Amino acid sequence: MSINSRFAVAVHILALLALEGRPLSSKYIAGSVNTNPVVIRRILSLLSKAGFVDTQLGVEGGSTLARPAETITLLEVYNVSEQGQLFALHSNQPNPLCPCGRNIKPTLLTVFQKAEAALEGILAEATIADVVQDIEAQVQSQL
Amino acid sequence: MSINSRFAVAVHILALLALEGRPLSSKYIAGSVNTNPVVIRRILSLLSKAGFVDTQLGVEGGSTLARPAETITLLEVYNVSEQGQLFALHSNQPNPLCPCGRNIKPTLLTVFQKAEAALEGILAEATIADVVQDIEAQVQSQL
DNA sequence: TAAAATGTAACTATTATTGTTACATATTTG
DNA sequence: CAAATATGTAACAATAATAGTTACATTTTA
């Protein structure tokens, strides 16, 4: 029914890394997100494979941004944290003997792809740096 | 991970009703969609409550469109067949003592709402009549 | 060498979806 | 009126995805 919270958590992680600017452990990040460190490590693993973060083992280790926050769009993060199609088509193949059943899938696919492209267009316009800036503005107003 | 197939099936049902223009039973529709009649009746129940179809009990009964196909947008169908937010935020409340945890939800919400609105804008532009027209064009090319 | 950290496997609990059977109820036709 | 046909919905099973958790091998640094 909904895009899972991995995307929201992935953005949270990247924004936190950008804000603090030093290696953060999965335990520390989990404290901010309020979840288990393994949940964070699972997502960090995706982000690392995608080249968004570098990780360092050992004492004083942790993850840092591998690219400037200005260059990481939310669309890239979305694509890393979600897989598969946003809209599901029929779970079973419709009846090929019915004109509607035989032809509806390509028709739906066209609309679904347009809708998803529109959604992705918005996500492509925002970067992690924008998110950080937004958070910092809120923090300022809270002083 | 994905919008469930209810939406696709709901559009299929409405397009089929528009194409045939006579009362169709859930059993008949299920034959086109290739699923169980109860699955169809569950979705018809949603469509009926939303005022898109009328249903008739008894022999020669079934469902018919309650509104012209030109007036039913895919967005309306989407809103009936889906509930809840498209994007999930964190499942647990992030740490309010962390500047990022305290402020990230409103920031994300703004972007998510913009993205969802863009998606809905595309769905609002297409009607069941457009879907039917598309299917009929394909049928023509198959003769 | 000890401490700290990652990466991942394995398991549980929860939830949503889909398909299925069953049945009470309503409606139409002969 | 009776039989046939439909709906609407409850109940249940199977499947899948998500999130949380424990555990542990491995790596790195101090």
Q: Which domains does chain B have, with CATH numbers?
A: 6-141 (1.10.10.10)
Query: What's the distance, Cα to Cα, between the start and end of chain B in Å?
Result: 38
**Predicted local confidence at residue B3, as pLDDT:** 57
Shortest distance between the Cα of B30 and any Cα of chain A, in A, equals: 9
Q: Which amino acid is at B110?
A: T
User: What would the mean pLDDT of B102-129 be, rounded to a whole number?
Assistant: 97
| Contact (Cβ atoms closer than 8 angstroms) between residue B138 and residue A103 | yes
User: What would the mean pLDDT of B101-124 be, rounded to a whole number?
Assistant: 97
Contact list, B1 vs chain A (CB under 8 Å)? 3-4, 82-84
The Cα B97–Cα A31 span in angstroms is: 10
Kindly report, residue by residue over B94-103, the tens digit of the pLDDT. Answer: 999 999 999 9
**Predicted local confidence at residue B85, as pLDDT:** 82
Kindly report, residue by residue over B27-64, the tens digit of the pLDDT. Answer: 999 999 999 999 999 999 999 999 999 999 999 999 99
User: What would the mean pLDDT of A54-66 be, rounded to a whole number?
Assistant: 95
Shortest distance between the Cα of B49 and any Cα of chain A, in A, equals: 20
Is the pLDDT confidence value at A83 over 90?
A: no
Bases of chain D below 7 A from a protein C-beta are 3-11, 17-23, 26-30
| Token pair belonging to A80 | 């890393």
Categorize the per-residue pLDDT at B2 as very low, low, confident or very high, splitting at 50, 70 and 90: very low
| Among B4, B111, B121, beta carbon nearest to A74 | B111
Contact list, B138 vs chain A (CB under 8 Å)? 102-103, 106-107
